A = this chain, B = another copy of it.
């Protein structure tokens, strides 16, 4: 009689778990003991494996969709797989290079960097890719300008340090002269560049109420602008999702229902963006970058059969957005994780170079 050392037993168990996950991801069929015995544990009989699988089922890593006919991984299994088993491999250098080339080509050729990035994510992952830029409220402002459109109307244009541009029309109570707008714009940009929008409001409010002399002539306009800046949706967030079609293609009809539910969540942008905001906050708290939410780990029950792999984007010390992919629970986590990770770093680099060259004083 042999007594198995605990480590050996554990290693074998993990090996089986990993194999079940990988096999299931690949074939989309429940995995049986026979298959494992034939495939990866040739020195052990299927009966033994059955016993171990029964244990794994007890512990909540596997379950049988029907009494007899193979087992499939639970969310807990995926989680374990992602955390312990899928060693986050660095991407092959040549693959990295190829991605970078595609990225550069897209970003330089077309102006909308974010859309292009989400498309690239979708293309390379075979799932849907998204890029999200958070509310600009607590991002540092690079410029804030006002473009006169009509006597009672102007366009406010805001540029953050990460290069995000927001613009929105503002109806003014009274007629304002472009000259005044220019004075105000210059004043504001001198004072608030580098501050967040929230701080900017504060600053402007103080100057206004202390009767700052530079603002004397334009107090009326300034107060209008301030009022506009206080509207809740000023500088709202932006969300791009691309490649839903690709997701449809890589998904069999069984998952049709899941996809419909996902679409419902994604198309109600608010739902999805608040989800991402939570993720962002959590990553910040734990000082991590990459987040993987598997099935029921998602806050939204509609996504219980999908997974989201995402990464935070930071400019300076601020998290300004997220990007990632959303796809079926049974995805190639290792590949997708490194992909998201890498493209995230590319986008982050783009955003950071954007404000690498601040305006010099003498230019102003």
Contacts and interface: CB of A to CB of B under 8 A. Distances in A.
Contacts of A177: 363
A185 to B, nearest CB: 9
Nearest to A161: B149
A137 interface: no
Q: How large is the interface on A (under 10, 10 to 19, 20 to 34, 35 or more residues)?
A: 35 or more
B155 A364 contact: no
A124 interface: no
A121 to B, nearest CB: 13
Interface in A140-167: 142-143, 145, 147-153, 155, 157, 159, 163, 165, 167
A234 to B, nearest CB: 9
Contact of A233 (B111, B245, B364): B111
Interface stretch (A92-100, A210-218, A291-299, A354-362): A354-362
A30 interface: no
Interface string A271-311: 00000000000000000000000000000000000000000
B149 A143 contact: yes
14 contacts: A110-B233, A111-B233, A149-B355, A150-B355, A150-B359, A151-B359, A153-B357, A157-B167, A244-B267, A245-B267, A246-B267, A249-B260, A253-B253, A253-B256
Q: Which 5 A-B pairs have the closest CB atoms?
A: A245-B263, A150-B357, A111-B168, A245-B267, A248-B260
Interface of A: 110-111, 142-143, 145, 147-153, 155, 157, 159, 163, 165, 167-169, 175, 177-178, 182, 233, 236, 242-246, 248-249, 253, 256, 259-260, 263-264, 266-267, 354-360, 363-364
Given A152-B357, A178-B359, A178-B364, 19 more contacts: A110-B233, A143-B148, A147-B157, A148-B363, A151-B357, A155-B157, A155-B159, A155-B165, A182-B182, A243-B267, A244-B244, A245-B260, A245-B266, A245-B267, A248-B256, A248-B259, A248-B263, A249-B260, A253-B253
